[in-house]
Amino acid sequence: MNAQLAPLLPINTVAIQCTYFKKTAEKNWLVALHQDLSIPVRHHLSAKGFSGWSHKQNMLFVQPPIQYMEQLVAVRVHIDDCLHEHGPLKVVAGTHRDGKIAEADLPRIRDQIGEQECTVVKRDAVIMRPLIVHSSSKAIQTNGRRVLHFLFAPATLAETIPFEFCV
């Protein structure tokens, strides 16, 4: 593990998900304001508070209780530059501390707090909590921007929840 990242991740961390993003002229998307609320799991849990079950790309996902989501950390490793014109991640600072926020309230909160673009050069990383309110725009200029988005959990949490590592 990178020595600069280690202090920012949970102790005894476990990678539970890795998503590959690539914005090109043919695949140039925007992502509306949201919080990441779902995690990949191997099977259904009967534990209280797990809801919103769904299947995506042959994987089972669930929305766990917020106290689980609060322990997760995402690391976005940029393979390419991601400047304003490349449709970078935009975050509403501090909102990860507010738990699950009603979707209808997200624009108002963004307008009150403001949002910050996370522009980086290749080989840089953006570290965030999945609960932070975030979005991204379409790229104005596509450069084939590639990002590996890793989701990490404390090992003790991985012993409780049957995470399914997915790529």
Place of tokens 């976005």: 76
**127 by DSSP, 3-state: which?**
strand
Domains of the chain, by residue range, sit at: 21-160
Successive 10-residue mean pLDDT values, the chain, 167 residues: 74 88 92 95 85 89 93 95 96 97 98 97 95 96 92 84 68
Give the alpha-carbon dihedral of 46, 52, 53, 57, to 10 degrees. Answer: -150
Return the CATH architecture of domain 21-160: Sandwich (2.60)
* Confidence (pTM): 0.90
